[in-house]
Amino acid sequence: MAVTKHGEGTSRGKATARTEATARTEATAVIDRAGLDALIKTLTADGRTVIGPTVRDGAVTLAELDSADALPWGWGTELDAGHYRLVRRTDGAGFAHSSGPQSWKTFLHPQREKLWSAERGPDGALTVRDERGEQPSYAFLGVRPCDLRAIAIQDRVLAGGRFADDGYQERRRGALLIAAECTEPGATCFCVSMQGGPAADAGFDLALTEVISDLGHRFFVRVGSEEGARLLAAVPHEVADMDTEARARGGVSLARDRMGRAMPPVDLRTLLGASPESERWDDLASRCLTCGNCTMVCPTCFCTTTEEVTDLTGDHAERWQRWDSCFDLDFSYVHGGAVRTSARSRHRQWLTHKLSTWHDQFGSSGCVGCGRCVTWCPVGIDLTQEVAALAAEREGADDE
Amino acid sequence: MSELPVPYRVIGRRDETPDTVTLRIEPAGEALGPFAPGQFAMVYAFGRGEIPVSVSALLPGGHLAHTVRRVGAVSQGLCAARPGSILGLRGPYGTGWDLGQALGQDVLVVAGGIGLAPLRPLIHAALADRKAYGRISVLIGARTPDDLIFKTESLLWPTAYTGVTVDRPDRGWTGEEGLVTRLIDRARFDPAGTTAYLCGPEPMIGATARELVHRGVPAARVRVSLERNMRCATGHCGHCQLGPLLLCRDGAVVGWDQAEPLMAVREL
Ligand SMILES: Cc1cc2nc3c(=O)[nH]c(=O)nc-3n(C[C@H](O)[C@H](O)[C@H](O)COP(=O)(O)OP(=O)(O)OC[C@H]3O[C@@H](n4cnc5c(N)ncnc54)[C@H](O)[C@@H]3O)c2cc1C
Ligand code: SF4
Ligand code: SF4
C-alpha cells in the first residue's frame, strides 16, 4: 500500500471530499504501521507521554511507548473466568488482544497520589501546600470502546459533581484518546449487553480499526475531534478506500455478534436494588475470597482512602491518597467496628453499587462489560452468572 | 478530593465530659464559606489526619465551635488542642438540618450523647427566631450523667420543654431514667405539624424515628443525621455510601422516609 505524505491543507481537503462523497459527518483516512509509528513519534515530539499496550510479564500491560514496535504485534489473549493467557497469532495483529489487568485509570486516577503537605512552624503555624504539581500530558493509544465509556464514567464521578478531583481533572483534560475498535472480543467480554459495543461512538480524538487482508496491514481511521484532525494531518495517511472501510466496519459489526458473554437481559438497576436479602449472596460469599482484585482491575472503580505520613522531625506531614477497595474490612470502619463485616455484605455492596446504586449516585451504570473482573478473579466468579442467579431467584420468588 | 485545609486557631477550650471537648476556633487567615447548622468540616489534626466533625456552634466573626469525643487517633489529637493550637479545616460539607422545613411548625429535637453537638446550632437558630416556629422541645439522652454535654447551657434554653434522661444513673442523679424515647410523652407537639431533628447512635435514631412516625409525624419531616466512614467529604472516596446515598453529599442529614428502608438492611 502506497502511503503519501500530505500537507495539512490537502489532507483536510481530501478528508472533506471523502466526507461529502459518503455523506458521513466524520472525516476518515487510512494509515499503515509506519503511520502508526509516526503518530507515536509526533505525539512524543509534542511533549506527550504516549501510553499503549505492550507485552510484559506474560500479559498485555499498558506502558509508555516510544515506537510502534513496542505494540503487541502477533499476540492475542485467551480468556476465561479466572484465566488469562497470551497466545501467538499468525496474522501479526497488534490490537487483537483483550483487556489486560490494567486500565487507563492507572494513569488518570493513579494508585497512589500525594495530595498535599503540611509544615508546622516554630510558633505552631500551619502551612498547607498543594502537592499535585504539573500533570503529565498523556496520549493513550489503543483505548477500547468499553474503556472509553469507563473513562466517561470516571469523569462523571471524579469531575462531574459539585467538587472536582483537581489532579484527575487536569490529567484528563490534557489526555488525548486514540481508540482501537474491537474486532476480536474476548471470552469474558459482554459490552454489547451493557448497551455498549465494539465500535467507538464518542469521546475519542482518533479511532483506529485494524484491517489485515491481502491488501496489507492497515488502520481505518475516524477523526473524533479537531485535535485528532491536526494529529492525523501531521502523519502519513491516505484517503480511506472502500475496501478498507468496508472491512473495518464489517469486522467491528461481526464482533458485536461474537461476545464471549452476555449480561442477562433484565433491568439490572431494579433487580439489584430489590435483592439485598437474596440468598444468592450467601452462596457467592462462600466462594469469594474478598481479595478485592475485581475492584483493582475494574476501569470504573474509583474508591480511595487517605494516609497521613510524617517525617522524623514531626514538623512535616504529607497527605496521600491511594486506591481502596470495598472488599477491605476497614473500608466501612466507624468507631466501634466495621459496618460491613461479612463477605456477603461486602460483595453485595460491590455488585449492587456497580449495577444499581451507581445510577442513583452518578446517573449511569458503573459497569461497561469489559470482563476484567471475571478474568482476574482468582476463583473465577463471573458477575453475569451471579446476576442470572439473582434474577432466577427473584423470578422464583415472584412466582410463589 | 481536592480542597486544601485552611488554618483555624483554637481560642477557647472546654471539657464537656471526661472524653469530650468543645473547641472554639477562629480563622487564622481566610475563613471558610458560611456553615449551616448540621453541616460538618473535615478537621485536620497535624500529623494525625482528618475526620468529619459537625459544627456545634456558629459564632460571630466566622468563629466556629466543634465538640469532639475522643475515640481514636485523630479525635484524640483534636481533644489535646489548646488555645493557640492551629487546626486545618475543609468545608462546609453536607446537607445540614434545614430548619426552613420547620417554619410555622412545632420543632422537636432529640439527641443521644454527643449527638447533641450537631443539633446545638439548630437549637440556637430556632430559639433566636422563636416566633417563626411553634413549640420548641429538646429531648436529651445520655448513657450516664457524666456523658451529658452542654449541661448548664441546656438548662437555660428558653424552650417549651427540655428533658434530660440517662440510661444508667449514678447516686446523685435525681432526673429521668431510661431511653430518650420515654421523654416523647413529656413534650407537647402536634404530630402532623411537627418537624423533628434526630442525632445520636443508630439504634436511638431508629427507635425515636419509628415512635414519632407512629404518633403521626410525617416521615419526611423526621430529619436524621447518619454516620459513615468518610475520607474525602467531596463525593470521591466512596466510603460514605449508604445504598444509593453518598452521605457526605446527600446527607449526612436525610429524611427518615429515605433512611428507614436503608437502615432496615443489615450491614448496608
Ligand atoms: C458527618 C459526621 C459528623 C460527625 N460529627 C462529629 C462531631 O461533631 N463530634 C464527634 O466527636 N464526632 C463526630 N463524628 C464522628 C467522628 O468523625 C469519628 O469519631 C472520627 O472519625 C473518629 O476518628 P479517630 O481517628 O479519632 O478514631 P479511629 O476510631 O481511630 O478512626 C480511624 C478512622 O476511621 C474513620 N472513622 C472512625 N469512626 C468514624 C465515624 N464514627 N464516622 C466517620 N468516620 C469514622 C475515620 O476516618 C478515622 O480516621 C462525625 C462523623 C460524621 C460522619
Ligand atoms: S464490573 Fe467487571 S465487567 Fe464491569 S466494568 Fe468493572 S471490571 Fe469490567
Ligand atoms: S469476586 Fe473474585 S476478585 Fe472479587 S473479591 Fe471476590 S474473589 Fe476477589
Q: Is the pLDDT of residue A250 over 70?
A: yes
Q: Is the pLDDT of residue A5 over 70?
A: no
Smallest CA–CA separation between A126 and chain B, in Å? 6
Mutate: best of A361, A362, A364, partner B, most B CBs <10 A: A361
CB contact under 8 A, B7 and A166: no
Ligand 3 near A292 CB (within 6 A): yes
**For B70, nearest residue in chain A (alpha carbons):** A335
**For B247, nearest residue in chain A (alpha carbons):** A361
Smallest CA–CA separation between A340 and chain B, in Å? 5
pLDDT, tens only, A280-304: 999 999 999 999 999 999 999 999 9
CB contact under 8 A, A126 and B86: yes
The average pLDDT across A307-334 equals 94
Q: Is the pLDDT of residue B19 over 90?
A: yes
**Bridge-partner residues for B8, per DSSP?**
B27, B87
Q: Is the pLDDT of residue A25 over 80?
A: no
The average pLDDT across B151-161 equals 95
Q: How far apart are CA A318 and CA A310, in angstroms?
A: 6
Q: What percent of chain B has pLDDT over 90?
A: 98
Taking CB atoms and an 8 Å cutoff, what residues of chain A touch B91? none
Can you give the pLDDT at residue A11? Answer: 39
pLDDT, tens only, B228-239: 999 999 999 999
Residue A339 DSSP one-character state: S
Confidence band, pLDDT 50/70/90 cuts, at residue A341:
very high
Q: Is the pLDDT of residue A1 over 90?
A: no
Ligand 1 near B72 CB (within 6 A): yes
Q: Is B49 on the interface with A (CB under 8 A)?
A: yes
Give the residue, by CA position, lying nearest to ligand 3 atom 3.
A377
Residue with the larger pLDDT of the pair A8 and B183:
B183
Can you give the pLDDT at residue A122? Answer: 87
Give the residue, by CA position, lying nearest to ligand 1 atom 24.
B72
Q: Is the pTM of this model over 0.80?
A: yes
Q: How far apart are CA B107 and CA B97, in angstroms?
A: 12
Rg of chain B (C-alpha set): 18
Rg of chain A (C-alpha set): 23
Confidence band, pLDDT 50/70/90 cuts, at residue A400:
low
Could you tell me how many CB contacts below 8 A there are between chain A and chain B? 129
Tell me the ligand closest to B253's alpha carbon. Answer: 1
Taking CB atoms and an 8 Å cutoff, what residues of chain B touch A308? 47-49
**Domain B2-93 is classified in which CATH homologous superfamily?**
Translation factors (2.40.30.10)
- Give CATH 3.40.50.80 domain extents, chain B: 99-263
Alpha helices in chain B (DSSP H): 73-79, 116-128, 151-156, 202-214, 247-250, 256-263
**For A358, nearest residue in chain B (alpha carbons):** B244
Is residue A231 a contact partner of residue A205, using CB atoms and an 8 Å limit?
Answer: yes
Q: Is the pLDDT of residue B59 over 60?
A: yes
Taking CB atoms and an 8 Å cutoff, what residues of chain A touch B201? none
Alpha helices in B10-102 (DSSP H): 73-79
> Residue B72 is nearest to which of A308, A335, A342, comparing CB atoms?
A335
Query: DSSP string of A227-248?
Result: HHHHHHHTS--BPPPHHHHHHH
Nearest-10 Cα torsion for A387, A393, A396, A398: -80
Distance A395 CA to ligand 3 centre (A): 26
The average pLDDT across A48-52 equals 98
For chain B, what percentages of helix, strand and coil (3-state, to nearest 5) are there?
30, 30, 40
The average pLDDT across A246-269 equals 95
CB contact under 8 A, A361 and B87: no
Q: Is the pLDDT of residue A312 over 50?
A: yes
Indicate if ipTM > 0.95.
Answer: no
Ligand 1 near B243 CB (within 6 A): no
> Residue B4 is nearest to which of A130, A305, A331, comparing CB atoms?
A130
> Residue B2 is nearest to which of A163, A303, A344, comparing CB atoms?
A163
Q: How many CB atoms are closer than 10 A to CB A242?
A: 8
CB contact under 8 A, B267 and A361: no
For B101, B131, B138, B139, B195, the CA distances from B106, given in Å and listed in that order, are 11, 11, 11, 14, 6
Ligand 1 near B254 CB (within 6 A): no
Can you give the pLDDT at residue A124? Answer: 86
Taking CB atoms and an 8 Å cutoff, what residues of chain B touch A116? 4-5
Query: DSSP string of B162-194?
Result: EEEEESS--TT--SEES-GGGGGGTS---GGGE
Q: Is the pLDDT of residue B41 over 70?
A: yes
> Rounded to the nearest 5°, which phi and psi values hold at A195?
65, 20
The dotted CATH code for B99-263 is 3.40.50.80
> Residue B229 is nearest to which of A277, A314, A334, comparing CB atoms?
A334
| The ligand 3 atom nearest the CA atom of A327 | 5
Q: Is the pLDDT of residue A399 over 80?
A: no
Distance B240 CA to ligand 3 centre (A): 22
Which among A192, A300, A325, A326 is the best mutation to test ligand 2's pocket, defined by most ligand atoms within 8 Å of the CB? A300
Q: Choose among A209, A217, A212: nearest CA to A178.
A: A209
Q: Choose among B69, B217, B214, B38: nearest CA to B134.
A: B217
> Residue B5 is nearest to which of A128, A314, A344, comparing CB atoms?
A128
CB contact under 8 A, A126 and B72: no
Q: What percent of chain A has pLDDT over 70?
A: 93
Distance A75 CA to ligand 2 centre (A): 23
